[in-house]
Structure 1
Amino acid sequence: MVNLSKLEEIKDLRTVWPHEALDFTPWLSQDDNIALLADAVGLDITVDETESSVGDFNVDIFASETGTDRKIIIENQLEDTNHDHLGKLITYASGKSADVIIWVVKHAREEHKAAIEWLNNHTDEKVGFFLCEIKLYRIGNSEPAVKFEVIEKPNDWTKEVKKSDSANATQQQRYDYWVAFQDYAFQNEQFAKNFNRRKPSMDHWMNFSVGSSACHIAVSQIQKRDELDVELYISEDKELFHSLLFNRDEIEANAGLKFDWRELPERKASRIVIEKSVNFGDKNQWNAQFDWLIDVMLKMKKAFKKYL
Structure 2
Amino acid sequence: MDHEHDQPGTWRRRIGHPRELWPRETEDLHPWLIENLDALGGCLGIGRLEFTGREVLMGEQWTHTGQDGVDRVVGGLRLDLSARDRRGQVVVVEAQFGPADHKHLGQLVTYAHAGQAAVAVWVVVDADPLFYTEHLTALAELNEIFSGRRQFLVAALTLESEPRATEVPLGALRPQLRRIDLVTGGTAQ
Tell me if TM exceeds 0.5: yes
What pairs with 1:86-97 in structure 2 (closer than 5 Å)?
86-97=105-116
> Counterpart of 1:73?
92
Alpha-carbon distance in 1 for matches of 2:145, 2:77 = 26
More contact order relative to length (CA 8 Å, sep ≥ 6): 2
What pairs with 1:282-293 in structure 2 (closer than 5 Å)?
none
For the pair shown, the structure with the greater C-alpha radius of gyration is 1
Alignment pair present for 1:146 and 2:150: no
> Counterpart of 1:59?
79
Gaps of 5+ in 2: 1-9, 60-75, 163-167, 184-189
Alpha-carbon distance in 1 for matches of 2:103, 2:113 = 16
Shift of 1:82: 1.0
Alpha-carbon distance in 2 for matches of 1:5, 1:14 = 25
Alpha-carbon distance in 2 for matches of 1:42, 1:153 = 14
Shift of 1:47: 0.7
| Secondary structure in 1 matching 2:148 | coil
- List structure 1 segments (4+ residues) > 3 angstroms apart after TM superposition: none
Percent same amino acid at aligned positions?
Answer: 26
Alpha-carbon distance in 2 for matches of 1:152, 1:123 = 17
Shift of 1:153: 5.8
Deviation sequence 1:223-262 (CA, Å, 0-9, x none): xxxxxxxxxxxxxxxxxxxxxxxxxxxxxxxxxxxxxxxx
What pairs with 1:105-254 in structure 2 (closer than 5 Å)?
105-106=124-125, 107=129, 108-138=131-161, 140-141=168-169, 142-152=171-181
Gaps of 5+ in 1: 155-308
One-letter amino acid of the structure 1 residue matched with residue 180 of structure 2 = I
Alpha-carbon distance in 2 for matches of 1:83, 1:109 = 9
Deviation sequence 1:143-173 (CA, Å, 0-9, x none): 321111111369xxxxxxxxxxxxxxxxxxx
| Secondary structure in 2 matching 1:102 | strand
One-letter amino acid of the structure 2 residue matched with residue 41 of structure 1 = L
Paired residues of 1:52 and 1:61 also in contact (CA < 8 A): yes
- TM-score (norm. length: structure 2): 0.72
Alpha-carbon distance in 1 for matches of 2:172, 2:24 = 19
* Between structures 1 and 2, the one with greater strand share: 2
CA RMSD of aligned residues (A): 1.8
> Counterpart of 1:26?
31
Aligned length: 147
Paired residues of 1:102 and 1:132 also in contact (CA < 8 A): yes
